[in-house]
Structure 1
Amino acid sequence: MSTVHVAVVIPAKDEAERVAATVRACRAVPRVDLVVVVDDGSTDATQDHARSAGAVTVRHSVSRGKASALETGASVVAMRDYENGPARLLLFIDADLGDSAASCAELVPPVVDGVADMAIAVPPKQAGAGGRGRVVRAARHAITSMTGWSPVAPLSGQRCLTREAYEKASPLAEGWGVEVGLSVDVLAAGLSVIEVPCDITHRVTRNDRAGQMHRAGQYRDVLLAIASRRLRRRGLRPRQFAQSLHDQQPFTAYRAY
């Protein structure tokens, strides 16, 4: 039986300070044999730092957004897959995790073992984070309203998924709606998801003007992702929804009926 390998895809914009540590941590994750960093129009030395840490790097000359960076990275992985082996699993990692990215190793076993088609990291509460949870609540409500699943961390960008799950969600939702779109599309396709606690730390978004603008952009993109999926009639039929909502349990695999 062929060994299942994992490719890490890291979208990065102006992350020169942290991306090298993130890459090194990802390279230490069991089964990872490829790390791809997509520099999404950085104005600093993000690409150079990522390459020096051992990543394959690709650069967008101008910023196209997170979803486009993930799609570029997944395309690079597909081109580098083994000719006679199974497609690599995709492990999406944010560039600012630094050394804590190693904890995302916990996301790989559920997908390798067939427990779920997509595993999502649930981080601990971040000290110093601003905001009042409005975007998280909106994202959770939107996912639940369409799939019956109520995630703990609906906006988590740390996700390990099969190539089939990725393709079911393609094209990805634009901007900061990509995570919500992934959850809805994977579940609507009849595949399963699971949340896994991971001891990861982000650079926190504070409650200053920049942080408020960031959260406003997130909120807008989440609403757009949901609106586009409603127009395409993604989601569950009423009977499926009711059964799925009744049967779910925290931190266990969830599959919509």
Structure 2
Amino acid sequence: MPPAETSADPHPGSQRVAVVIPAKEEADLVATTVRACRAIPRVDLVVVVDDGSTDGTQDHARAAGAVTVRHSVSRGKASAMETGASVVAMRDYEDGPARLLLFVDADLGDSAAACAELVPPVVDGVADMAIAVPPRQAGAGGSGRVVRAARSAITSATGWSPVAPLSGQRCLSREAYEAAAPLAEGWGVEVGLTIDVLVAGKTVIEVPCDITHRVSGNDTAGRLHRASQYRDVLRAVAGRRLRRVRVPSRVFESAAREQAHFLAYRAWPGPDTPAM
């Protein structure tokens, strides 16, 4: 990997953003997603991690202007996100702040440009992590069981009741990312990330974003996908309960009572700071 950059930044010292796109078998949409992400203000690096694809995903991403890395075999979304974050860290400028990390799913296509809305809350210090809330997606199957399980787990551990607990579009500071590393495995990564960031005393916010993505239907493939999601969410939650990764309920009660959708939420000052 190349060393940290020292002189290419046109605005030394300014806050830049790196987009990390975990991708598997996304040759049809990844190039469009990359081009949309490159147009987001402050973005000066797009990294696509091809998680063992067999359809040329890496080639399409590179042709669209992304830095690409490929796992020879599929290691899962969380591993792809961690690989991408590591690549960004190696390319950060020595004379400027660490880039913010903007995680974007590979199937957003042109709508990925709407993820620009996630950057200002983190740049302005309103939140340490901003999460996209998409509009209702046409054709989505399922009864919402996975979403309800994810929301319930986050609420139980932190007091926060998010609108979109499984949203994969997130912008966060490097400190927030490091507070959650290593990430939860599989499809439990978003739930684990939210719990870990809040337990670390960081602030999160949800932001409406007009994004569209591929949805799972009511066919066999869709049901299998949702079953995998449910399994991984439960696994991420169980691991955190076993390690007692949670905000003490007596501490987050006040924050939980005052929360409102699309406003910043902070559960507590953090485990290393006396509670107010």
Same fold per superposition (TM over 0.5): yes
Mapped partners of 1:127, 1:102: distance in 2 = 20
Partner residue of 1:144? 155
Which of 112, 118, 129 aligns to 2:140? It is: 129
Per the alignment, in what secondary structure is the counterpart of residue 250 of structure 1?
coil
Alpha carbons 2:184, 2:192 under 8 Å: kept: yes
Which of 49, 59, 82 aligns to 2:93? It is: 82
Cα root mean square deviation, aligned: 0.7
Alpha carbons 2:142, 2:217 under 8 Å: kept: yes
Uncovered stretches (5+) of structure 2, i.e. residues with no partner: 1-11, 269-276
Partner residue of 1:25? 36
Alpha carbons 2:158, 2:249 under 8 Å: kept: no
* Residue 154 (1) aligns with residue 165 (2): yes
Partner residue of 1:200? 211
- The CA deviation string for residues 127-177 of structure 1, in whole angstroms up to 9 with x for no partner, is 111111000000000000100000000000000000000000000000000
Partner residue of 1:94? 105
The list of structure 1 runs, each at least 4 consecutive aligned residues, that deviate by more than 2 angstroms after superposition, is none
Mapped partners of 1:48, 1:206: distance in 2 = 29
| TM-score scaled by length of structure 1 | 0.99
Identity %: 79
* Residue 253 (1) aligns with residue 243 (2): no
Mapped partners of 1:58, 1:68: distance in 2 = 12
* Residue 223 (1) aligns with residue 266 (2): no
Residue 77 (structure 1) shift: 0.1
Mapped partners of 2:196, 2:254: distance in 1 = 18
Mapped partners of 2:220, 2:251: distance in 1 = 42
| TM-score scaled by length of structure 2 | 0.92
Partner residue of 1:69? 80
Mapped partners of 2:38, 2:18: distance in 1 = 9
Mapped partners of 2:50, 2:39: distance in 1 = 21
Alpha carbons 2:114, 2:210 under 8 Å: kept: yes
Residue 241 (structure 1) shift: 2.6
Partner residue of 2:4? none
